[in-house]
């Protein structure tokens, strides 16, 4: 029994040798990111679940093509996002994403006044609502960077583009997000 959790790279090597349990560990480790990625594209929990599950299956069957020295998560997320997009297109529909805030407290140590808290919450709700009206590519690049907190490098791998392209895509997506927010106000 090994004392430390296996790294993705080690698990991938095991999967390549036919270890399904190792793959189950990878699924457990990345299912949240996969599901959220699919949700950002599909905008529906049911569709996101299906897309994430299919994405994991496709990744399993394509694992021999995966370079073990590359990070697993961006590669998986690219497959899941592609699956979610394909499903959306096959269904010929555009899903508006509806994100909502938790009932939790504001970040930071200071205790805001009820008015400040309400204002801050309203601003965040506005940005989430605007995000839901963006196209799937804009949602993905923003989602990867801000919601899944992928690094620029990981985002580039997940989107299959260069790091410089991530910067420009993100910049354009934020401009569009701001524009949608202003239109809505």
Read off the tokens for 172.
Answer: 């354009």
62 is an interface residue for other proteins by CB under 8 A: yes
Whether the Cβ atoms of residue 58 and residue 76 lie closer than 8 Å to each other: no
Query: Which ranges in 102-148 belong to alpha helices (H)?
Result: 114-132, 136-142
Read off the tokens for 162.
Answer: 């260069």
Q: Candidates 1, 101, 110, 111: give the one binding other proteins (CB under 8 A).
A: 101
How many residues bind to other proteins according to rule CB under 8 A? 61
Whether the Cβ atoms of residue 58 and residue 158 lie closer than 8 Å to each other: no
Where would I find the beta strands (DSSP E) of 8-87?
none
Residue 107: burial class (beta carbons within 10 Å; 0-12, 13-18, 19+)? exposed
60 is an interface residue for other proteins by CB under 8 A: yes
165 is an interface residue for other proteins by CB under 8 A: no
The interface mask with other proteins, positions 115-154, x = CB under 8 A, is -----x--xx--xx-------------x---xx-x-----
183 is an interface residue for other proteins by CB under 8 A: no
Closest approach of other proteins to the CB of residue 2, in Å: 19
- Rounded Cα gap, residues 25 and 74, in angstroms: 17
Number of neighbouring beta carbons within 10 Å of residue 105 = 9
7 is an interface residue for other proteins by CB under 8 A: no
Residues found near other proteins in the complex (CB under 8 A): 20-21, 23-25, 27-28, 31-32, 34-36, 39, 44-46, 48-50, 52-54, 56-58, 60-65, 79, 82, 86-87, 90-91, 99-102, 104, 107, 120, 123-124, 127-128, 142, 146-147, 149, 168, 171-172, 174-178, 181
């Amino acid at each position: 029994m090994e004392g430390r959790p296996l790294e993705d790279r080690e698990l991938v090597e095991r999967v390549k040798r036919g270890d399904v349990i190792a793959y189950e560990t990878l699924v457990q480790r990345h299912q949240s990111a996969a599901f959220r990625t699919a949700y950002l594209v599909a905008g529906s929990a049911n569709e996101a679940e299906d897309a994430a599950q299919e994405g994991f299956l496709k990744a399993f069957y394509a694992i021999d093509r995966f370079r073990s020295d590359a990070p697993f998560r961006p590669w998986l997320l690219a497959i899941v996002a592609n699956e979610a997009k394909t499903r959306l297109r096959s269904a010929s529909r555009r899903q508006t994403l509806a994100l909502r805030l938790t009932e939790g407290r504001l970040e930071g140590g200071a205790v805001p006044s009820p008015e400040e808290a309400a204002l801050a919450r309203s601003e965040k709700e506005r940005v989430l609502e605007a995000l839901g009206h963006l196209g799937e590519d804009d949602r993905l690049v923003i989602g990867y960077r801000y919601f899944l907190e992928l690094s620029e490098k990981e985002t580039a791998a997940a989107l299959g583009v260069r790091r410089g392209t991530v910067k420009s895509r993100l910049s354009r997506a934020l401009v569009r997000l701001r524009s949608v927010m202003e239109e809505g106000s």
